[in-house]
Structure 1
Amino acid sequence: MKQFASLVFAVLLAVGARAQGVITFEKELHDFGSVPEGTMATHEFKFKNTGNQPVVIANVQASCGCTTPDWTKTPVLPGKSGIVKAMYSSAGRPGVFNKTVTVTSNASVPSTVLTIKGNVVNKEQAKATMTPAQLAQSPRLVLDRTTHDFGKIESGQQPVAKFTVKNTGKQPLELGMITSACNCVGYKSVPPTVQPGQSAVVELLYAQRQTGPMSDVATLSSNDLNGDVKITLKANVVRDLNSSSMVKETNAVVPFK
């Protein structure tokens, strides 16, 4: 009887050992090739659960702060697919890069290392090495306008300006960093990729804390080899909008009662 129980236990252990999810990536290395400086190089590593139990990715850890990972957060059932996205910020990082992201999950192999590599080149250098035909195939960023005036705003507020970006080129457009001398302009929302012929909305936060009439220029980078785009944000920043509730009577300022 004891031998039979031991046999049953061994069989259950064997079955349990075989009942696991298996992450199978289409590839574990992606070479971006030449990346124009300032772009956010993005790649989705696709995988399939070839096991017989759901797979849950617990974490994806990048080897450096310049790489931002994202991944399928919901359980991936047997036979279904998911993605691990790696985004490399090339702004201010010219030269060759080779970075990794480590995927941790409950799969039969609990840890997988994915690699992205490439060479960040100056846009002018990249443009000089391309033929006219290649340049004609590149993405092209076109804005609906290049200036936004917020009017009067209160110091400390962070108003949002919405711009429509259209890709009139032949390749997917990838938006990169946005920079400004005042360090007061940033993204609220940005589409990672705009397909040829498509448009998308970019939302910019304006956090100018100085007072008075302001005009700040922000540079929006992308993989458009024709160059970066300049956006001007204007505002009249006041300390307190409630001060507008004062009126002048006989040259004396008095509050509303």
Structure 2
Amino acid sequence: MKRKLFLLTLLCFIFACYTAKAQGKLIFEKETHDFGTIAEGTQATYVFKVKNVGTEPVVIPSVEASCGCTTPTWTKEPILPGKIGSITAVYNSAGRPGPFHKSITLTSNNSESQRHVLYIKGMVEAKDAKTVVTPEQKALSPRLAVGTTSYHFGKLEKGQKSVAKFLIRNTGRNPLIIQGVKSACNCVTYRTSVAEIKAGEVATLELRYAPTVLKEQNEVVTVLSNDLIMPALRLTLKADVVEGKASKDMLREGEQPTPFR
């Protein structure tokens, strides 16, 4: 009897140890991002990367920003062990000159803490502000160079999200940082393959476009960087925007929606 009781206790202890270890655990690449100085009107975007170093999937059911000026999006599907998820923060600087420091709080089944706070900060330069750049600063400035300044998507459905990729090179002497993008439609966000592009190196700039207006579109996107000589680079996204075929088919009684071709 004592032997059976001992074995039962031992099995319970082993199971408890396994359960304690079999949990998801999130590790963030960084918890605070400083945009530096950005121009007023910029949609400043940063992608926080997070890795699950635990043994069970981690789910992030909600992410909340400290104010309406910051819009978060995040990985909705479970982050499996060893995989990487992301939390994207977009700060709308329009009409908000001056310093900013915002928080993004996420809730998850992370084993160590179910609530985690990320931060974005920076300085918004007013539209009428004038910056004097010395010759020495110009000589040391990073320089943004791009092979082509336009991208044609062809035919897109209204609201369909598509990505245009541009190769950009830093031909200057200091690290190049893309600080944000501006567009009249407010339907373009961005991400870069690296946070800082070192002198002489090449990176990929992705512009994510979701058109909201029908017919042929030529969206001018201003890319803002810490290039002191040309801080605003203009790129053009072209597309023939049409009504989604799936939505049309749903209006026809008795018919199932078909993919757009």
Deviation of 1:227 (Å): 7.5
CA distance change for structure 1 residues 90 and 52 in 2, over 3 Å: closer, same or farther? same
Structure 2 distance, partners of 1:123, 1:62, is 25
Larger % of strand: which?
Answer: 1
Query: Match for residue 142 of structure 2?
Result: 137
Moved more, 104-113 or 79-88: 79-88
Distance in 2 (alpha carbons) for counterparts of 1:22 and 1:55: 7
Gaps of at least 5 residues in structure 2 are 151-164, 214-218, 235-261
Q: 1:124 to 1:46 in 2, by over 3 A?
A: same
1:120 is matched with 124
Q: Look up the match of 1:35.
A: 38
Q: How does 1:11-30 map to 2 (within 5 A)?
A: 11-30=14-33
The answer to whether the 8 Å contact 1:38/1:223 transfers is no
> What is the rounded CA distance, in whole Å, between the counterparts of 1:166 and 1:124 in structure 2?
31
Look up the equivalent residue of 1:89 and give its one-letter code.
N
Partner of 1:71: 74
How far apart in 1 are the matches of 2:128 and 2:53?
45
How high is the TM-score relative to the length of structure 1? 0.59
Alpha-carbon distance between aligned partners in 2 of 1:203 and 1:29, rounded to the nearest angstrom: 26
Deviation per CA, 1:158-212, whole angstroms, max 9, x where unpaired? xxxxxx9997976465654445xxxxx553x5555699797877869687xxxxx
Structure 1 unaligned regions, length at least 5: 146-163, 180-184, 208-217, 231-257
Alpha-carbon contact 1:40-1:222 (below 8 Å) kept: no
- Give the percent of matched residue pairs that are identical in Structure 1 and Structure 2: 37
| Paired residues of 1:96 and 1:120 also in contact (CA < 8 A) | yes
Matches of 2:21 and 2:116, distance apart in 1:
19
Task: Note if 1:61 corresponds to 2:64.
Answer: yes
CA 1:17/1:106 → structure 2, altered by over 3 Å: closer, same or farther? same
Partner of 2:88: 85
User: Which of 42, 47, 51 is the matching residue for 1:48?
Assistant: 51
Q: 1:112, 1:23 → 2: CA distance?
A: 10
Q: Shift of residue 116 of structure 1?
A: 0.8
CA distance, structure 2, for counterparts of residue 22 and residue 90 of structure 1: 34
Q: Output the CA distance in 2 between the equivalents of 1:123 and 1:222.
A: 16
How far did residue 14 of structure 1 move?
Answer: 3.0
Deviation at 1:13, TM superposition (A): 2.7
Coordinate RMSD, CA, aligned: 4.5
- The answer to whether the Cα contact below 8 Å between 1:55 and 1:75 also exists between their aligned partners in 2 is yes
For 1:205 and 1:125, the matched residues in 2 are separated by: 32
My pick for the range that moved more, 33-42 or 17-26, is 33-42
State the structure with more CA Rg.
1
**CA deviation after TM superposition for structure 1 residue 40, in Å:** 1.7
Residue 76 of structure 1 aligns to a residue whose secondary structure is: coil
1:96 to 79, 99, 104: 99
- State the match for 1:223 in structure 2: 224
> TM (normalized to structure 2)?
0.58
CA contact under 8 A between 1:219 and 1:229: conserved in structure 2? no
Tell me the distance in 1 between the aligned counterparts of 2:128 and 2:170: 18
